[in-house]
Amino acid sequence: MNKIFKWTGWILALIGLVFVVISLMTDGSNVDILLRYTYVLLIAAIVLWIGLAIILTAKNNPKGLLKALLFLVLAAVVIGVAYLLASGDPAVRIKTQPSAQVLKMTDTMLTLVYILGAGAICAIIFGVIKNAFNK
């Protein structure tokens, strides 16, 4: 299993290195291209890790596969809500604005960070309360 994590880490590092080289070959000040490379790398990481989790769950615990698929559907719903809430307003203090699609995706990622951050804080608070009642 460590080999799988090691290989996926190397694959993601290689993809990131390719994107760095491509961005250096183009005009490095182009925000639009750099943001697109970041999104591709993020999507590649998510697909690799979710695919890996589903494969390992199916191998180790076939009954847990239903839970993993339910979690995947829940994650898709959260991403969909974040996309719907994203405004796509123009960036501040940037002379050349990224495209409307990149602005929408950036706002989607920020909204996801807000949602997941609030969820993490709630999980910590409820975990502390649960532990206090269990003791």
Q: Are 86 and 108 in contact (CB under 8 A)?
A: yes
> What is the distance, to the nearest Å, from the Cα of residue 123 to the centroid of all Cα atoms in its chain?
19
CA-CA distance, 135 to 36, in Å (whole number)?
A: 49
Amino acid at 120: A
The pLDDT of 14-18, averaged and rounded, is 82
Q: Judging by beta carbons within 10 Å of its beta carbon (0-12, 13-18, 19+), is residue 66 exposed, middle or buried?
A: exposed
Q: Is the pLDDT at 38 greater than 60, yes or no?
A: yes
Condensed to tens digits (0 to 9), the pLDDT of residues 116-127 reads 999 999 999 999
The pLDDT of 55-76, averaged and rounded, is 82
Q: Are 98 and 106 in contact (CB under 8 A)?
A: yes
